Amino acid sequence: MYPRLVINTEKYRYNVNRIQNLCHRHGLSMMAVTKVFCAAKPLTQVLKEEKVDYIADSRLINLKRISTTIPKVLLRLVSLHEVDEVVNVTDISLNSELSVIKALNKAAEKYDQRHSVILMVDIGDLREGIYYKENLDIIIEEMFKLKHVDLKGIGTNLTCYGGIIPTQDTLKKLIDIVNHVEEKFDLNLDIISGGNSSHLHLLDKDIHIDKINNLRIGEAIALGRETAFGEQLEVLYNDVFTLETDIIELKKKPSIPEGDIGMDAFGKKPQFTDLGVINRAILGIGHQDVDYYELIPYDKHVRLIGSSSDHIIAGLTNTENRYKVGDVIRFKLTYGSLLSLMTSEYVEKYYVQTI
Ligand SMILES: Cc1ncc(COP(=O)(O)O)c(C=O)c1O
């Protein structure tokens, strides 16, 4: 059935091992992040078989489905309304709000559990985290009064929101905060979590930031790309995931609609470039499944020109009579397209095991 996402578990396994070995060579543990593929079972099975250090996801519902002895980490800050489930489903969560940590403590007490907390600090990317040291000491002092939560470590997240690139100078801000906490409270933190796939460009250049001992990696393993500069990591597969979708109509038509132009299906006034009469293919996949401009056709003669909920329209230039109705067009993916295609129940997930 089409559309389908062809998922190569062995290429994924290879990428997992390459990145985990790279991390280990630099003295870092790795949290393998599963959210971009909705923690799909055949891929989390690979993580279990390869014995990754941690499995991490931003959605509790995904972590719930993974049965493993590998420590599970909730990446998105905990909601006050899910503390009971968090202490029962996960081992570690990322936090920045004292009220939530206190609620986690209460929940952990209720279920006779202990829960580990990584405190997130914001060093300028401006998504989650305690802003530098603002109230940090007070939060830690209060945490020490709690009997059922442990301060496992300190972490930061860069690039995802503000696009801030991890550099030695930027990460020094994290290290200053860690040093301050360790000196003031006379402790050694277990985990100093330095970031996500955007950190890998440093390891690639053999730059290790002293004290950082953990990374949380999703995109690089799934798509073979570091995310500070969007560069392909040469040793990795970038085709773990391939979208295949079929042509459901193929006709020569003009490139500009005829008549008065109002709104498209999404209330926007569309704009067109006149390319004369072109070969127009309709693909059986639409905006409900993916943004068409996030798809990268393998065939450079295929140009995606628009979409509605259930259709993507492609212009086929210089393809002679190579394509006919029913033929399959293949695409490489970006992070955004992988995320939405994995989330769409209308896209079949088809697993292959051969490299
Ligand atoms: C807090 C946090 N850490 C790590 C990651 C993984 O990021 P990436 O997929 O760029 O490696 C994410 C995103 O999924 C995240 O939200």
What is the distance between the alpha carbons of residues 36 and 340, in angstroms, rounded to a whole number? 9
Cβ atoms < 10 Å from Cβ of 180: 14
Residues 13-28 have pLDDT tens digits of 999 999 999 999 999 9
Does the CB atom of residue 227 touch ligand 1 within 6 A? yes
User: Which CATH code is given to the segment(s) 241-352?
Assistant: 2.40.37.10
Confidence of residue 355 (pLDDT cuts 50, 70, 90): confident
Residue 317 has pLDDT above 80, yes or no: yes
Q: How many helices (H) and strands (E) does the chain have?
A: 10, 17
Average predicted confidence (pLDDT) for the chain: 96
Residue 314 has pLDDT above 80, yes or no: yes
Please tell me which residue, 268 or 176, carries the higher pLDDT value: 176
Q: What is the pLDDT of residue 318?
A: 81
Which amino acid makes up residue 147?
Answer: K
CATH 3.40.1390.10: does it fit domain 9-223? no
| Comma-separated ranges of CATH 2.40.37.10 domains in the chain | 241-352
Does the CB atom of residue 196 touch ligand 1 within 6 A? yes
Q: How far is the centre of ligand 1, averaged over its atoms, from the C-alpha of 10 (Å)? A: 22
Residue whose C-alpha is closest to residue 241's, from 339, 332, 149? 332
Region 223-228: what's the mean pLDDT? 96
Does the CB atom of residue 68 touch ligand 1 within 6 A? no
Annotated catalytic residues are: 35
| Comma-separated ranges of CATH 3.20.20.10 domains in the chain | 9-223
Asked whether the beta carbons of 309 and 273 are under 8 A apart, the reply is: no
